[in-house]
Amino acid sequence: MGLKLALIAFLFCSGLCGAVRAESFAGTSPRLNVLFIAIDDLNDYISPLDHHPGIRTPNFERLARRSVLFTNAHCAAPACHPSRVAVMTGVHPTRSGIYRNLFGAHGPRWRHESPVLEDAIVLSQHFRDHGYRAVGGGKIFHTLQWTKGDSQNDPTAWDAYRGDPLDPISADWPRPAFIKTKDQNDGFTGRRPLNNFYFGAAPVELKAEQGDGAVVDWAIEQMSAETTQPLFLAVGLFRPHIPWEVPQEWFDLYPESEVQLPEYRDDDLDDAHSHGREAWHRWVVENNQWKHLVRGYLASVSYVDHQLGRLLDRLDASPLAGKTMIVLWTDHGFHLGEKQNWEKFALWEQTTRTPLFIHVPGISQDGARTNQPATLTDLYPTLCDLAGLPTPPQCTGKSLAIQVEHPDQIDERTSLTSFVFGGGGKPAHGISDTRYRYILYADGFEELYDLQQDRNEFQNLASDPKLSDTKNRLRQSLPENPAANVGPAVDSPYHRARNR
Ligand SMILES: [Ca+2]
Ligand SMILES: [Ca+2]
């Protein structure tokens, strides 16, 4: 009887009890498996978020129906490498000093670039240390399709990794034959951003064992394998990262005549800080590539949506069904001409906001959305809470477990995205609350946007005296002593030059 009363009290408690309840749930039931899906360069164009006109992402909608969608989640840094290290270690760039992409690694060189990270426990390693079988495939730490053997992965953080953990994706992607047709290549000659056609869009033939499909095939095998341990399965999908080369069927969803450009204003940068990348956009416009490139991005998003669907199908048909948490995140947002920018490397919401979905069987309020500001460094402590594991002291974020159970329960935290522009100097910071976005650049320039009135961040309100209290309140969230920017540790045994 006492036990029953205690159980009733337990079930009815709310608020702060949420995290306790999650912990108890994990502690008293068989351990939940974790399906951890990382997507590269996917912004808010998917239908459950901003819904770019015409976008077809039925599987993201399907995931939204069965999870909590965080609509105000932001990367820790707006570039692949620093964002991913921050997620996988739980350490924010303002603590580690890793704000930018650093190339030429062959292993976890970040351990030698940042003293704070030298002994950091990688998320997968932490789950393994607590009885999970931790396996990974595809792009989890930074790597690129075209930089063979350049990988920041830590092979020791996994029980097993698909293929070569230090060259996880470069062999998966064939390049299309570049036939000089108007459809594919008009303007794709001469001077263009990036060399060798990496910044482009074209249909490519992908066999079943190629592309992200190969990584998903591997993940499907992992979900089907017999194991007595709970599974931590990390699946890293590379599209919609450039080059936008996916099979023709995904291009066919978006006839070029129907492709709509994102909302933009020609004078948008007049009241904003330059991102220093305007030349890319000029090239796109001068070569009449804008619609073609947006089409390639949309096709790549639908391709990755299809791969997500394959993962969910298999999960639902596997012994893991109903016993698996799902977390899906992307490493940062993406511009397709908004503010004359392409790719990322900026601090506007278009760059920093990322889709974030969390499903926990029996806990998450599936189908709900929350505007709770979140930084992706919150993921590590969130997953620890939801799985009933301790959070390592290295983590700088704050668990979102309460919002997973009670999406309306917004706490006062803000998000924090930090970046060092142009390869050196002090970091700049972007902060969001539930309504406003504040950006402070290293030279002191400020931007403030009211996202409730101005979703596209067109009008900089930083000098509006009516909003000075708001601005000062957001400034309270600036980091006090952010770490200095670090460069590549050339003496590290994980420096690629030493391995080739
Ligand atoms: Ca990325
Ligand atoms: Ca503007």
Which-ligand-closest: CA of 269? Answer: 2
> Quick check: 157 pLDDT over 50?
yes
92-105 pLDDT per residue, tens? 999 999 999 999 99
For residue 52, indicate whether it is catalytic.
no
CA of 51 to the centre of ligand 1 (A): 20
Q: For residue 418, give both structure tokens.
A: 């930090």
Contact yes or no for 434/396 (Cβ under 8 A): no
301-331 pLDDT per residue, tens? 999 999 999 999 999 999 999 999 999 999 9
So what's the pLDDT on residue 1?
33
So what's the pLDDT on residue 56?
98
Most confident of 1-10, 26-35, 298-307, 417-426: 298-307
Three-state SS for 319? coil
> Quick check: 20 pLDDT over 60?
no
Which DSSP helix (H) or strand (E) runs through 338? none
The Cα 210–Cα 174 span in angstroms is 8
57-87 pLDDT per residue, tens? 999 999 999 999 999 999 999 999 999 999 9
Q: How many CA atoms, within 13 angstroms, populate the side-chain half-sphere of residue 440? A: 15
Those residues whose C-beta lies under 8 Å from the C-beta of residue 37, and which sit 6 or more positions away, are 234, 235, 236, 237, 308, 311, 326, 327, 328, 329
Which-ligand-closest: CA of 449? Answer: 2
257-267 pLDDT per residue, tens? 999 999 999 99
CA of 376 to the centre of ligand 1 (A): 13
Contact yes or no for 141/88 (Cβ under 8 A): yes
Helices (H), 335-455: 349-352, 379-387, 401-405
> Residue 29 — very low, low, confident or very high, per pLDDT cuts 50/70/90?
low
Three-state SS for 235? strand
End-to-end, the C-alpha distance of the chain in Å comes to 68
> Residue 10 — very low, low, confident or very high, per pLDDT cuts 50/70/90?
very low
Residue ranges per domain, the chain? 20-411
- For the segment 273-285, the average pLDDT, to the nearest whole number, is 92
The Cα 439–Cα 206 span in angstroms is 41
- Please state which of the ranges 103-112, 183-192, 396-405 shows the lowest mean pLDDT: 183-192
Of 52, 74, 75, 80, the catalytic one is 80
So what's the pLDDT on residue 159?
98
Which-ligand-closest: CA of 448? Answer: 2
CA of 296 to the centre of ligand 1 (A): 16
Q: What is the CATH number of domain 20-411?
A: 3.40.720.10
CA of 137 to the centre of ligand 1 (A): 16
353-365 pLDDT per residue, tens? 999 999 999 999 9
CA of 456 to the centre of ligand 2 (A): 9
CA of 394 to the centre of ligand 1 (A): 24
> Residue 21 — very low, low, confident or very high, per pLDDT cuts 50/70/90?
very low
Give the residue among 150, 178, 185 at the shortest CA–CA distance from 166.
150
Which-ligand-closest: CA of 273? Answer: 2
> Residue 425 — very low, low, confident or very high, per pLDDT cuts 50/70/90?
confident
CA of 418 to the centre of ligand 2 (A): 20
Q: In this prediction, what percent of the chain has a pLDDT beyond 90?
A: 82
- Please state which of the ranges 148-152, 179-183, 214-218 shows the lowest mean pLDDT: 179-183
CA of 277 to the centre of ligand 1 (A): 17
Give CA angle at 161 (156, 164), nearest 5°.
Answer: 95
Considering only CA atoms, give the Rg of the chain. 22
Those residues whose C-beta lies under 8 Å from the C-beta of residue 135, and which sit 6 or more positions away, are 158, 159, 160, 161, 162, 222, 231, 232, 233, 234
For residue 80, indicate whether it is catalytic.
yes
> Quick check: 196 pLDDT over 70?
no
Verdict on whether the full-model pTM lies above 0.75? yes
| Mean of per-residue pLDDT scores for the chain | 91
Which-ligand-closest: CA of 457? Answer: 2
Contact yes or no for 116/394 (Cβ under 8 A): yes
The Cα 236–Cα 328 span in angstroms is 10
Give the residue among 238, 375, 397 at the shortest CA–CA distance from 307.
238
Of 81, 106, 126, 142, the catalytic one is 142
